[in-house]
């Protein structure tokens, strides 16, 4: 359905249905697809392997079979608990396998960061009424499991998009790169591997530092690591700073402050690279903006709004780069 189409009652009901989205997420969290990957199982066997109640799981599977995600491998009799009924992996459920392309299962896992995002929308009404969530947070406010899940999801995306960034612009003009908020180092590894002349520094919250150091060692690259809050740190001098999906986590004053800190640490003829979602796809942009509202960190911004923040920080836009994968790159230099 496009943004311009007019939904009728049936379409509105489908758009507002919470049963299917939550049923899929429970299946993803319990890893039901992986448990059925080797062949059909009874509801009782599936429940035992997944740590669920057999009768309740049977009812969930019956629903997911009716919706075409999984398959019934044997006929049921009667309307009881169906513990002897056998269920199999359907074509749709194959996308819930842990190794499916794009890792949709990990994003749908209610025990991970994806679940944290989903549950934030339960409080959308009070958030809209108040202008923000009751308790804004960031990675430090997540449970250790959710924080680790966040790092894993971001690392998988950066592993795919990092090589594209390494090809998107002329990196030969730089010698020292600082990746601010670079998670566990996947993006920086891609840059340093593609451009050996670069010396790299990762700036991240302490919770991610140990994993990042281990990843650098395993990848055979050398990089300095600075752990701490960006706004409390003195940034090292460099001729290129990379801020990927970072500024949308901040309100306007913090975004300006972050850019200002980069500008003050920028060496002659250096650049600040801002990688954020484009506002050229309205539906995606609006969805991400609403997500940033319920998470309570910041907001998505239009190109003009990023330029305004850069101007307030003493920078001007010099170029826009479009990698083959990942967000566009806004290149800013000292005004």
Residues noted as catalytic? 248
Q: The tokens 């920086």 sit on which residue?
A: 188
Q: How far is CA 185 from CA 103, 112, 200, in A?
A: 19, 20, 10
Q: Which two tokens stand for residue 243?
A: 């801020």
188 and 198 Cβ atoms separated by less than 8 Å: no
d(CA 328, CA 168): 9
β-bridge mates for residue 71, sequence order: 88
257 and 310 Cβ atoms separated by less than 8 Å: no
194 contact partners, CB below 8 Å, separation of at least 6? 163, 166, 167, 171
91 contact partners, CB below 8 Å, separation of at least 6? none
d(CA 311, CA 315): 5
300 contact partners, CB below 8 Å, separation of at least 6? 248, 276, 277, 279, 285, 288, 289, 292
* Of 116, 90, 113, 103, nearest in space to 32 by CA: 90
β-pair type (266-276, 328-334):
antiparallel
Count of CB atoms situated within 10 Å of the CB of 179: 30
């Amino acid at each position: 359905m496009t943004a311009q189409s007019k939904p009728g009652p049936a379409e509105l009901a489908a758009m507002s249905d919470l049963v299917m989205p939550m049923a899929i997420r429970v299946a993803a969290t319990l890893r039901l697809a992986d448990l059925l990957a080797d062949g059909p199982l009874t509801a009782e066997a599936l429940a035992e392997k997944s740590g669920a109640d057999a009768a309740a799981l049977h009812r969930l599977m019956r629903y997911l079979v009716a919706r075409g995600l999984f398959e019934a491998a044997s006929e049921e009799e009667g309307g009881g608990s169906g513990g002897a009924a056998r269920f199999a992996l359907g074509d749709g459920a194959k996308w819930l396998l842990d190794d499916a392309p794009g890792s949709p299962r990990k994003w749908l896992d209610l025990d991970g960061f994806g679940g944290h995002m989903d549950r934030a929308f339960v409080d959308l009404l009070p958030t809209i009424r108040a202008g923000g969530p009751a308790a804004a947070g960031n990675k430090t406010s997540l449970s250790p499991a959710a924080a680790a899940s966040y790092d894993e999801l971001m690392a998988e995306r950066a592993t795919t998009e990092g090589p594209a960034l390494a090809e998107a612009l002329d990196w030969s003009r730089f010698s020292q790169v600082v990746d601010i908020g670079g998670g566990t180092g996947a993006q920086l590894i891609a840059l340093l591997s593609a451009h050996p002349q670069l010396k790299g520094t990762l700036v991240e919250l302490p919770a991610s530092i140990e994993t990042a150091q281990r990843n650098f060692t395993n990848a055979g690259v050398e990089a300095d690591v600075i752990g701490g809050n960006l706004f409390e740190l003195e940034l090292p001098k460099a001729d290129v700073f990379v801020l990927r999906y970072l500024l949308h986590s901040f309100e306007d004053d913090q975004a300006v402050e972050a850019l200002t800190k980069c500008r003050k640490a920028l060496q002659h003829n250096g650049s600040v690279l801002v990688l954020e979602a484009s506002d050229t796809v309205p539906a995606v942009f609006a969805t991400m903006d609403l997500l940033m509202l319920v998470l309570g960190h910041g907001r998505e911004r239009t190109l003009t709004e990023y330029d305004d923040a850069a101007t307030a920080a003493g920078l001007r836009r010099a170029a826009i780069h479009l990698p083959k994968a990942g967000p566009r790159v806004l290149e800013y230099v000292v005004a």
